[in-house]
Amino acid sequence: MECRLSTTTQNRKVRKVIWKWQRRCWLVAKAKGGLGKGLGALLPVFDEEEILKENADEVKKIALAEIIPNPEQPRKVFDEDEMQDLAASVKEHGVLVPIIVNKNENDTQYVIVAGERRYRAAKRAGLAEVPAIVKNYSEQEMLEIALIENVQRSDLNVIEEARGYKLLMERFGYTAEELAKRMGKSRSQVANIVRLLHLPEEVIAMVAEGKLTAGHVRPLLALGDKAWQIDMAENIYHDGLSVRQVEVLINQMKDEPSTAEKAEKRAEKKYDDELNTELKIVQEQLKEVFKTKVAIKNRGGKGKIEINFYNEEELKRIIDLLGGEFY
């Protein structure tokens, strides 16, 4: 079925029919596992002449007082200038495209699934009600739809996207690979985005505020030390470094042993000398299991076990051996 549409029509009946077709295509896409195909699978459009053959009315007016935003909507930041422009347009023309809301049997209010910007603009414009389509989605479907809609339209900053992915993984048990298929991305893309949440909150905030990009801060993950990561992020911002300059700088820092690293090597030698025979045997056994350098550091009955890795694939392999899930 051909999926084309001119969206300039002002005919109310036509617009309502359009949304019926969109609902139909959403159900078809869902049945075929189409959520991961991107926004086209969620909100497709069709040839206007074909739409006119249909006669349906699923759009209803709902009071703004009965509608609430989705508390788990991934998007948290709304551009103020864009919102002012949209509110002015809504005040003059009204809300032309219905929002999608959800209401289950036990709900007392409608929860926004898609269209929060239009809802906010309508409130600013002083409207009492908005056109809406009421659905009955599960909690999981609501979160998926909101995330897909925003990701495909590039409405989320990368931190909002990462938190949305993490929520789906933690609440609904998605692996990075499964989530990648749902979102129409590669596994490495999803994993790299979620890994940004391993950075300190101070660095995450700088990305969310648009001071730094994901490309600027991703190399900082290699530093490990959180205080160091924060200092580097602030320097990158104040010095106006490019992503390439950051990558070169971080590689130089990794290649040059610090005073702390030199001291640690001296301490390692001392620990090796003090390590008893039994622990040395265990250490060698662990090296065989993980196929990498393993160090057991013991002092007074306390200590730690260090397992080295040198790239992302080695880290994934080690985590798999430990029975964990690599994000």
- CATH T-level assignment (fold) for domain 59-151: 3.90.1530
Give the model's pLDDT for residue 49. 34
Q: What is the arithmetic mean of pLDDT over 199-213?
A: 92
Q: What is the pLDDT, as a whole number, of residue 50?
A: 38
- Which residues are part of the catalytic machinery? 116
Level-2 CATH architecture, domain 159-255 = Orthogonal Bundle (1.10)
Instruction: For the chain, give the mean pLDDT.
Output: 75
**Lowest mean pLDDT segment, chosen from 30-34, 104-108, 274-278, 320-324:** 30-34
Please give the pLDDT value at position 207: 92
pLDDT of 204 over the 90 cut: yes
% pLDDT > 70, the chain: 70
Average pLDDT over residues 70-83: 76
pLDDT of residue 172 exceeding 60 = yes
Summarize the confidence of residues 20-42 as an average pLDDT.
Answer: 44
- Whether the pLDDT of residue 208 is over 60: the answer is yes
More confident residue, 178 or 24: 178
Beta-bridge partners for 55: none
Rounded Cα gap, residues 285 and 76, in angstroms: 49
Residue-wise pLDDT for 90-123, tens only, equals: 888 888 888 888 886 677 789 988 888 899 999 9
Residues of the chain within CATH 1.10.10.2830 domain(s) are: 159-255
* Positions of CATH 3.90.1530.30 in the chain: 59-151
| Exposure string over 243-258, b if 16+ CB within 10 A, otherwise e | beebbebbeeeeeeee
- Please state, in angstroms and rounded to a whole number, the distance separating the CA atoms of residues 193 and 91: 38
How far apart CA 276 and CA 317 sit, in angstroms, is 29
More confident residue, 234 or 171: 234
d(CA 114, CA 109): 15
On the question of pLDDT at 299 being above 90, the answer is no
> 265 pLDDT exceeds 70?
no
Question: Residue 236 — pLDDT band, cuts 50, 70, 90?
Answer: very high
0.75 surpassed by pTM: no
Are 117 and 83 in contact, with CB atoms under 8 Å apart?
Answer: yes
pLDDT category at 215 given cuts 50, 70, 90 is: very high
pLDDT at 46 (0 to 100): 27
- 3 state SS for the chain: CCCCCCCCCCCHHHHHHHHHHHHHHHHHHHHCCHHHHCHHHHCCCCCHHHHHCCCCCCCEEEEHHHEECCCCCCCCCCCHHHHHHHHHHHHHHCCCCCEEEECCCCCCCEEEEECHHHHHHHHHCCCCEEEEEEECCCHHHHHHHHHHHHHHCCCCCHHHHHHHHHHHHHHHCCCHHHHHHHHCCCHHHHHHHHHHHHCCHHHHHHHHCCCCCHHHHHHHHHCCCHHHHHHHHHHHHHHCCCHHHHHHHHHHHHHCCCHHHHHHHHHHHHHHHHCCHHHHHHHHHHHHHHCCCEEEEEECCEEEEEECCCCHHHHHHHHHHCCCCCC
User: Of 59-73, 125-139, 175-189, 193-207, where does the model show the most confidence?
Assistant: 193-207
Residue 200: pLDDT band with limits 50, 70, 90: very high
Band of residue 17 on the pLDDT scale cut at 50, 70, 90: very low
115 φ/ψ angles, rounded to the nearest 5 degrees: 110, 25
pLDDT at site 278: 74
323 pLDDT above the threshold of 50: yes
Quickly count: other Cβ atoms within 10 Å of residue 70's Cβ. 19
pLDDT at residue number 244: 92
Query: What is the average per-residue pLDDT within 255-265?
Result: 58
Both tokens assigned to 54: 């249909």
Of 268 and 44, the one with more pLDDT: 268
Q: According to the per-residue pLDDT averaged within each range, which of 14-23, 249-258, 260-269, 291-300 is highest? A: 291-300
More confident residue, 265 or 179: 179
Q: Bigger pLDDT: 185 or 275?
A: 185
